[in-house]
Structure 1
């Protein structure tokens, strides 16, 4: 397209109007550059090219924040060989950032750059924390000069901004323009010349000297849409910059600033839906990284669930609160990020785990761990309110943070420096909070607080703490404390359930629980027995607990993260890491033990019933199972041991038995186990070995309720224990089932359903 700007001195121009494909044309040199993108090659899903979106004129290119980049060799086909020094440079580009980089090691997330800061060569235009941005150049005289956007001129997320930076060596000026207006200028020596970073590629969307994270991920990559990138070897005037901005507005947008539709820029789950390992009826972010789901709450006919999320890529980095909403706890919708780190004194460095409750008016509030690395400790308890009372937004998309932290850890209040994951509940007497921490030198602890107004909190001491001498696996610190009422037991006592997740040296990172009594007067917990129990025996696949009392049904429901158990390389290639476990209903059984079962609403996902029979021998049952196939199944089976001491079922079996995963019960050991020694032949996958733990069936038949969902395997045994594990078969025909025992057994009943995706 033609511009009103005089295109004299135009060195490079990418209009990104391809709209499809895996390369982009630099129109001055007529060179087509490959676009680097993770799914250009794909091992586990169908190949798909980079994501093109609506631009300011024609299309624009969406950069995913961790894999999308363009490398352009300057001089390759250029008509004007680039000089080693230049007296002027102007860059103009339209950007719509999606998320901000954290600014690790002080480096900029590059929009466009060709630089070597150590040698003080080249140029770098990029973004920093919370939307601030900068243009930096290396000068012939050996200086590295930069100019920064002033406060109030940050680049907003999910909006188009027209950015220009000008180096004018003859006049001795660096200038920044935003949306056609000058916002900053800085002096350099008159007669300065920019020293080219010879031998370095020009990169779009990626820093020439990015930090490596987890040995796999390049940080400081741009996340969002880019359009109309132009570079000139002269200094454009303020009038030319303004005219260029106005030209786009008037030629394509009726004179108003272009808008970004949220659906154009949001994280897109579509490329991941065909991934043969990605669960389809377990809750997951649209893409990239999650850890624990938390803060479940019911409001105005909908369930809300939040989750720890790095929206920049499938790796643990700067954490936001992702957000889903559901009418039935089964089918979830992705909503925009609810809480993000901002340029404030509250939580600039991360929005860590927390919980949800109601304020005095019955409106939802979020309690979260505020990350601020400039203070000690760098964790405090903070609050965010929904804007529902102002705008009636039924999805609770908008949240406003209370400006000050509500609970700040002081010396003597738990293990100093470890203070996180508030679990807050309300009753007729006020609000109560548990915060994960420890007692110096003694072990993990949940600390107790109370408040009359939800804003001013009083420390009541440890709610409950570990005896680390007796139970070293309970670790020095507890995270994610959860307290749920279980109701009245057979002796007429009111029981509660306390869940914790130990971390730190010597800790077994699982979900441990106690059943016991709440002493509300002292705000402390008295367990029925000192030794904790596990809900799940699958070894670090069922972690990160949160819980709620469902106001609709009175059920106590637990949510967890299902850890992915993969290498960083495979998470990079896949574009996602982790998902939620199925929601669990927990209750007090008649025998005083904790009952667990997947919520009944999951039955709504059943498709065709593949199989149903009862009272068959092992041989007869396996004949019937021969044609049953699937990686998205619900299985219910009851096995009577007969002469067998080990019995169970093989899932995700290849026809030749080369790959299979065995779920079984060992009567002699009284253990529920999974054998993954033959799960996969893929050289990069980690799943292997035998995992499991104690389960006393007290003479009952083995009753397994199993959910297969691609790489997810969840087995619920007799309503008492679960075993969650992950399987990543290398072969696409690993879809079979086979019942198994080390002796004769009777298959009392068996039913198998196909399961449907929730997305």
Structure 2
């Protein structure tokens, strides 16, 4: 704690120097304030709030959705003996990690004790894109605000020293940034701040925050706070400058304190103890993700991006998260690649898109720019790598082209539904598919063409199915993906079109057609009209993206594996959703789509638990009594001439109170999962039976299964997958058991432990 002259007026001070634990002391009153954090009381996992290096000693990291401090006021607190006062100064070092969207125009609170509607109290906080403000309720019946001007926003991942001053005696409301005055608003001379007596003093949480999904409080601070002080006087410019300079003088280099990115980045370590969280599937370090997208290979590395809300495990203010990998299996977290900014391009979200190469062979990103000030609010935009300047193979930095490249043409597509560009180069031009729909016709992919990647021309509808015949294809298509698939038996080049239907009546799955691509007419002609499914799980394999791997020429698709939990459980967990395993697709000799997990996944195999051939059901299950695990790879081949249903139970408790059954019904040609007994937790919603058609005729059933925490992915005979989620309540739900309703021959079986990729 410093002892400068201005500290004589100090009435509250949080130094956040504990460095550990779940409380922090307010030094003047010596009150120990508990740090409210979801993991202090979560039923899923428990650990302390996250502490980081501060500008002096340690600082406290606020997670953006659950971390806050409620201070217990005592007789030394401002306003405890009087209803109003004329001078107030708040000083704090702040390092934001993310900005709030600004829902309902409310500020993300740094510190506040206010009631705006009653014109009472004070609020220091942030809004969209780093803007910030100090606001007070005065005895004149006014609510007064002072805002930082443009160019003085609080930068992300950087320390800023801010002071907010009310000087009612002089009639001024001021802001200071890093020791310098940046804004002043006049208030009535002699006015006094009116206390919000029935309101808590909160740090990191707005007294009147918006609520999302009945669970999530918005306008909560994300980042690190340190050296938070409140004075009962209006500090002068000289005092504030001296205070800032004093701290600089004690810095090792005598300069503004630096903040290494590793200190403030989202940290996945605390969530690794969550037994339901997958460990060898790609996931954000914490919080929310939507679909992974825009895969691209460059300079020996694979890049994969994903839709991400860095504020918490809920769908809100979407950015592009970023992973990089040498092998498509072991991923590294990189800083957010694209974020909404205070511009006219995408201030309200960076939604899905794709990646391709420019004329120089450098990666570029095409994304959906969200700007709610426009109607329609969606357009296609471009971001270019800074590789030519920095030669960073991790491709951390991207520069957005300042204007939208493709606006929705008048009368083309469903108004306001125009998103998810999939871009590739064909000969000497670039082509783009954009997801949309046509009223009374249904979802469509629209085609655009460009000679230079900047000027685009609408070329028509790429493919339009019969909505009356297939109503589950919905009124809107998202995430169109178009890839060359292979040469068929007649020597014809086949392509695959994948889409994700949304809207009223849509079945939100990944549907596909195999067919021929007419590059002259820029249209697609499917071999059969009826769409097909890759995965027969229900809403756990969605959000497709894809690429042709330049190293191997494989066609690889990526998906989101939906978590399918309640908002309350996602709040407690601190994360929502993850990627599915990368999937190689190809054209089989019989003309059907072949699927298989990429071979690189074998690098994750650990202990091999069993390997046997030609056993009866009873013999095989005797062997399996020694196998336990919730992160396993299983390969099994089953045959029966008498049984109708054959399969395997996974995630079983010893008493079978919890179990999940994967099985094949030969009579109905169905691949199914029975989750009726998957969990005893009544809060979980992943239950029931789901599945779909798989025709393997009289062939043996070949299952390739991946268990990873709550994830179950089963690949059957190289033809279909079934992706699902289960959240057993018991920690002993680790056993396996083969199963059938008749005699069963186990042709072969192998089981491995799987290692974490993190």
TM range (shorter): over 0.9
Determine the C-alpha separation between the residues in 1 that align with 2:547 and 2:288.
24
Partner of 1:744: 743
SS at match of 1:623: helix
Partner of 1:260: 259
**Taking structure 1 as reference, are residues 720 and 76 closer, same or farther at Cα in structure 2, changes over 3 Å only?**
farther
* Cα pair 2:78 2:232 within 8 Å, conserved: no
Partner of 1:110: 109
Q: C-alpha offsets along residues 125-161 of structure 1, whole Å, 9 cap, x if unaligned?
A: 0000000000000011211000000000000001000
Spell out the pairing of 1:99-138 with structure 2 (5 A cutoff).
Answer: 99-138=98-137
Partner of 1:19: 19
SS at match of 2:466: coil
* Cα pair 1:308 1:320 within 8 Å, conserved: yes
State which drifts further: 253-262 or 356-365: 253-262
Q: Following TM superposition, by how much is the alpha carbon of 1:39 offset from its aligned partner in structure 2, in angstroms? A: 1.2
Determine the C-alpha separation between the residues in 1 that align with 2:458 and 2:573.
45
* Cα pair 1:179 1:245 within 8 Å, conserved: yes
Determine the C-alpha separation between the residues in 1 that align with 2:220 and 2:672.
43
**Taking structure 1 as reference, are residues 361 and 5 closer, same or farther at Cα in structure 2, changes over 3 Å only?**
farther
SS at match of 2:104: helix
Q: Following TM superposition, by how much is the alpha carbon of 1:79 offset from its aligned partner in structure 2, in angstroms? A: 9.7
Q: C-alpha offsets along residues 439-466 of structure 1, whole Å, 9 cap, x if unaligned?
A: 1221000000111101111101110123
Partner of 2:40: 40
* Cα pair 1:74 1:82 within 8 Å, conserved: no
- Hey, which bits of structure 1, 4+ residues long, moved more than 4 A? 76-80
Determine the C-alpha separation between the residues in 1 that align with 2:42 and 2:433.
44
Q: Following TM superposition, by how much is the alpha carbon of 1:712 offset from its aligned partner in structure 2, in angstroms? A: 0.3
Q: Following TM superposition, by how much is the alpha carbon of 1:6 offset from its aligned partner in structure 2, in angstroms? A: 2.2
* Cα pair 1:246 1:255 within 8 Å, conserved: no
Determine the C-alpha separation between the residues in 1 that align with 2:399 and 2:703.
45
Determine the C-alpha separation between the residues in 2 that align with 1:2 and 1:102.
35
SS at match of 1:7: helix
* Cα pair 2:31 2:72 within 8 Å, conserved: no
Q: C-alpha offsets along residues 380-438 of structure 1, whole Å, 9 cap, x if unaligned?
A: 00000000001101100000000000000022211111000000001322100000001
State which drifts further: 494-503 or 79-88: 79-88
Partner of 1:376: 375
Partner of 2:532: 533
State which drifts further: 411-420 or 220-229: 411-420
Quick check: 1:176 aligned with 2:188? no
Partner of 1:694: 693
Determine the C-alpha separation between the residues in 1 that align with 2:678 and 2:79.
58
**Taking structure 1 as reference, are residues 253 and 140 closer, same or farther at Cα in structure 2, changes over 3 Å only?**
farther
Determine the C-alpha separation between the residues in 2 that align with 1:447 and 1:80.
62
Determine the C-alpha separation between the residues in 2 that align with 1:254 and 1:704.
61
Q: Following TM superposition, by how much is the alpha carbon of 1:4 offset from its aligned partner in structure 2, in angstroms? A: 2.4
Partner of 1:631: 630
Spell out the pairing of 1:157-168 with structure 2 (5 A cutoff).
Answer: 157-168=156-167
SS at match of 2:7: coil
Q: Following TM superposition, by how much is the alpha carbon of 1:106 offset from its aligned partner in structure 2, in angstroms? A: 0.2
Spell out the pairing of 1:315-354 with structure 2 (5 A cutoff).
Answer: 315-354=314-353
Determine the C-alpha separation between the residues in 1 that align with 2:558 and 2:224.
34
Determine the C-alpha separation between the residues in 2 that align with 1:3 and 1:525.
74
Q: C-alpha offsets along residues 498-533 of structure 1, whole Å, 9 cap, x if unaligned?
A: 000000000000000000000111111000000000
Quick check: 1:564 aligned with 2:563? yes
State which drifts further: 462-471 or 497-506: 462-471
* Cα pair 2:11 2:76 within 8 Å, conserved: no
* Cα pair 1:410 1:416 within 8 Å, conserved: no
Quick check: 1:612 aligned with 2:611? yes
Quick check: 1:247 aligned with 2:246? yes
The normalised TM-score by structure 2 is 0.99
Q: Following TM superposition, by how much is the alpha carbon of 1:48 offset from its aligned partner in structure 2, in angstroms? A: 1.1
The normalised TM-score by structure 1 is 0.99
Q: C-alpha offsets along residues 521-561 of structure 1, whole Å, 9 cap, x if unaligned?
A: 11110000000000000000000000000000000000000
* Cα pair 1:29 1:79 within 8 Å, conserved: no
Q: C-alpha offsets along residues 316-344 of structure 1, whole Å, 9 cap, x if unaligned?
A: 00000000000000000000000000000
Unaligned segments of structure 1, at least 5 residues: none
Determine the C-alpha separation between the residues in 2 that align with 1:473 and 1:80.
62
Determine the C-alpha separation between the residues in 1 that align with 2:323 and 2:162.
34
Spell out the pairing of 1:179-194 with structure 2 (5 A cutoff).
Answer: 179-194=178-193
CA RMSD of aligned residues (A): 0.9
Q: C-alpha offsets along residues 650-687 of structure 1, whole Å, 9 cap, x if unaligned?
A: 00000000000000000010000000000000121111
Determine the C-alpha separation between the residues in 2 that align with 1:254 and 1:268.
28
SS at match of 1:8: helix
Spell out the pairing of 1:78-93 with structure 2 (5 A cutoff).
Answer: 78=77, 81-93=80-92
* Cα pair 1:283 1:332 within 8 Å, conserved: yes
Determine the C-alpha separation between the residues in 2 that align with 1:740 and 1:261.
54
User: Number of matched residues?
Assistant: 758
Q: C-alpha offsets along residues 300-323 of structure 1, whole Å, 9 cap, x if unaligned?
A: 000000000000000000000000
Determine the C-alpha separation between the residues in 2 that align with 1:138 and 1:5.
28
SS at match of 2:285: coil
Q: Following TM superposition, by how much is the alpha carbon of 1:73 offset from its aligned partner in structure 2, in angstroms? A: 2.4
